[in-house]
Chains A and B, each alone.
Chain A
Amino acid sequence: MKQAAFITITNARLVTPDGLREGSLRMEEGRIAALGDMPGEGETVDAGGKLVAPGLVDLGVFAIDKPAFHFGGITRAALMPDQSPPLDLPSRVSYIAKSGKPDFWVHPLAAATRGLEGKEIAEIALMREAGARGIATGRQWISDSGAMLRLLQYAAMLDMPVIAHAEDAALVGSAVATAGEYATRRGLPSAPAEAEAIAIARDLALAEMAGARLHFRQVTTRAGLDLVRKAKAAGQQVTAGVTPAHFMLSDLATAEFRTFARLSPPLRSEDDRHAVREAISDGTIDVVSSGHDPRGPEDKRLPFSDAEPGMAGAETLLAMVLSLVRDEVIDISRAFELVATNPARLLGVEAGSLSQGYEADIAIVDADKPWVVQSAMMAATAGNTPFDGQPTQGRVTALWKGGVPVEL
């Protein structure tokens, strides 16, 4: 499906790389043709003074779930290799790369190791040819430091980012919670929060040796964020991400063994939650993603430690990030850097920004529109959200992928 005619969105508050500005945006042949003051040419859409922003680029999701992504204003997602079977072969990558088109683009992340077993490096260069935009270790740490170093060296040679999971595997074991009073009260197998900083410290050292670009998909503890902050200050090519759960919730949310709050990494302490918010504010965190992982009752209606980790996050990503704007942690421009510009840059795709010539992935956002998150009413294939029942604000009211309107 190609864009048929010009579309001009008028009366918009444009979220541009240079900040908010009033004006219009014209889409032409699937690209952003012009921004600024212009007459309404071709088909005209009046944004009614609402935000017009880049479609979200969701870095590190676990399922392709178009209705949920579209609901959340997400037009591209980088799919984690943790699939069944894992994305560790070029053929699988190539199939996935085409799976969402035309109205949704999937950027596969190549499995760093065969079968995600953390031992043998997978055929990364061939997977790059097949469309992989990055390399991911999956939802686990590569324990073998030698294997991790060789992987990072290889990735540096191919100029591909490595997206790492930061939890020391031996410390974590079969833990499902962060060690502390709440895990102890509930008798849940737990691991110390320091497992994250330990993993980050090693991976930073190895990445520096290898000269590789390293992205930690989720940094969730104060100690881990401090390490990333220092490495950035020292000039290392490192970026960090997080999902809204870790700046909205702490391990208090696991009370009553609620499996929708069973996440990987697990929810942390209140202090760590505050540290995440500070890191979003000061620029230590570059990316906020949904970690979208819809899980039905067969995976979630189980005892806490037997349930699968993960949450359906695509629909709530934007609203939760906009809550940081209302709380004055960040401004609107920075919000869209976190959910669109930075992840697009990391993946090396010309999207995620209202820049001339970029892909016309555009969202009209009513930033104040109130709504209530309802597990039973979600567009996602499963309603496993820890935000069930929570009132929030901010909804996408119109969406275009490559200049073609998406039905919401």
Chain B
Amino acid sequence: MTASQTTPHAARYPAGAQAFPHRDLLGIGQMERHEILFLLDEAEQWVALNRQSAKHSDALAGLTIINAFFENSTRTLLSFEIAGKRLGADVVNMHAAQSSVKKGETLIDTAITLNAMRADAIVIRHGSSGATGLIADKVDCPVLNAGDGQHEHPTQALLDALALRHALRERGERADDFTGQTIVICGDILHSRVARSNLLCLQALGATVRLCAPPALMPVGIEAMGAEVFHDFDAALDGADVVMMLRLQTERMSGQFIPSAREYHHLYGLTKARLDKAKDDTLVMHPGPMNRGVEIDSEVADLIDRSIITRQVEMGVAIRMACLDVLTRRARGVEGWGDAA
């Protein structure tokens, strides 16, 4: 089934702006199941567009989108930039390294400055949990969280869900949601905002989520969020439909969390032999960047029929287009979404 054949299921969510009543996209934690499904369905049109040779829409023509990245990023920044440009918006990237943040300006002052430049949407990545919410309180336009500390990275979870849905549908499954799917997330859960957002998103869509990491990299009390906790990777993989590997976020570690990369690979590296012990069609995901030979072997990462890692990157652009489109509808006066302010 191709993307263009999947039409939004009107019955799955309320009409008009009620389908996504939030001004900002701060985290999966604030979203209802039907709102997640709405964004996934909205993204399908952009998946289709992105597969054409002329990948352009004028939906957001005239709007200014600022990507304010206070933490280094390559792929997420690029993905948001492409998403904004394909929608016809004027996209500006602000890198913290070359900004007044280095000169001691507070985050709030930076936010107020961006706001005064009349951005129509601000995409923020910041190293501290909750930072995007703080900025959202101070600006007049929609704020999209592109990762805040160890808290959330909602567009990553949405793109992962979209990529997984596509992969399952290509196999002929309906995949309206992920009920019945067992999904393993393995790696540095403690420092991972991707793990938190994915846990919330996948569970909202019906999946059973297993988290696997050595105890030092497993956050305390994560069971209370509904996850099954494993320390033995082979046990976690038993019967798994999907395995999502995370890299070790050494830049966030203070102190030693694992003895060596070699030993980590021995216990938690996704090898072909390990994958073979799961199911014969277990899918492999990774949000990137990958450390080949540490958490994932090249042989596995490049498996054409099992790895959907490049698909995740592809879906990232579509999901971000959907988020930018939906969040700016009110300001653009799209019918059913309220008048332009």
Task: Give residues in A with beta carbon < 8 Å to B.
Answer: 173-174, 179-190, 192, 256-257, 297-298, 301-306
Contacts and interface: CB of A to CB of B under 8 A. Distances in A.
Contacts of B29: 185
B106 A187 contact: no
Contacts of A189: 150
A190 B254 CA distance: 12
Interface in B215-259: 219-222, 224-225, 254-255
7 contacts: A173-B255, A180-B221, A187-B129, A188-B150, A256-B133, A302-B106, A303-B131
A155 to B, nearest CB: 32
B210 interface: no
Interface string B137-172: 000000000001111100000000000000000000
B73 interface: no
Nearest to B129: A187
B131 A187 contact: no
A298 B221 contact: no
Nearest to A174: B254
B220 A257 contact: no
List the 5 closest pairs (A to B, CB-CB), nearest first.
A257-B130, A303-B128, A187-B151, A187-B150, A181-B221
B193 interface: yes
A179 B221 contact: yes
A257 B150 contact: no
A173 B216 CA distance: 14
Contacts of A301: 106, 108, 134
Contacts of B108: 297, 301-302
A293 to B, nearest CB: 19
A305 B131 CA distance: 9
B62 to A, nearest CB: 32
Contact of A257 (B129, B224, B225, B254): B129
A181 B129 contact: no
Nearest to A256: B133
A304 B148 CA distance: 11
B107 A257 contact: no
Contact of B221 (A173, A184, A187, A256): A184
A182 B224 CA distance: 9
Nearest to B153: A187
Q: Which of B106, B150, B224 has the most CB of A within 10 A?
A: B150
Nearest to A177: B129
Nearest to A175: B254
Contacts of A297: 108
B196 interface: yes
Contacts of B126: 303
Contacts of A305: 128-130, 149
Contact of B133 (A183, A184, A257, A298): A257
A301 B128 CA distance: 13
A286 to B, nearest CB: 31
A305 B107 CA distance: 13
A184 B220 contact: yes
Given A174-B254, A298-B106, A303-B107, A188 B222 contact: no
A301 B133 CA distance: 12
Contacts of A179: 219-221
Contacts of A302: 106-108, 128, 134
Q: Which of B126, B149, B196, B225 has the most CB of A within 10 A?
A: B149
Given A181-B222, A184-B225, 18 more contacts: A173-B254, A173-B255, A180-B220, A182-B221, A183-B220, A184-B219, A185-B225, A186-B151, A187-B148, A187-B151, A187-B152, A188-B130, A256-B130, A256-B133, A297-B108, A303-B107, A303-B149, A304-B130
B129 A303 contact: yes
A188 B134 CA distance: 15
A199 to B, nearest CB: 18
A256 B220 CA distance: 19
Contacts of B106: 298, 301-302
Nearest to A258: B130
Contacts of B129: 186-188, 257, 303-305
B252 to A, nearest CB: 9
Interface in B89-133: 106-108, 126, 128-131, 133
A303 B134 CA distance: 7
A185 B200 CA distance: 10
A301 B131 CA distance: 10
Nearest to A192: B220
B133 to A, nearest CB: 6
A301 B224 CA distance: 30
Contacts of A187: 129, 148-152, 193, 196
Nearest to A306: B128
Nearest to A173: B254
Interface string B198-214: 00000000000000000
B74 to A, nearest CB: 22
A267 to B, nearest CB: 15
Contacts of B130: 186, 188, 256-257, 303-305
B85 to A, nearest CB: 29
A217 to B, nearest CB: 26
A303 B137 CA distance: 12
A162 B115 CA distance: 50
B27 to A, nearest CB: 10
A257 B129 CA distance: 8
Q: Which of B128, B196, B222 has the most CB of A within 10 A?
A: B128
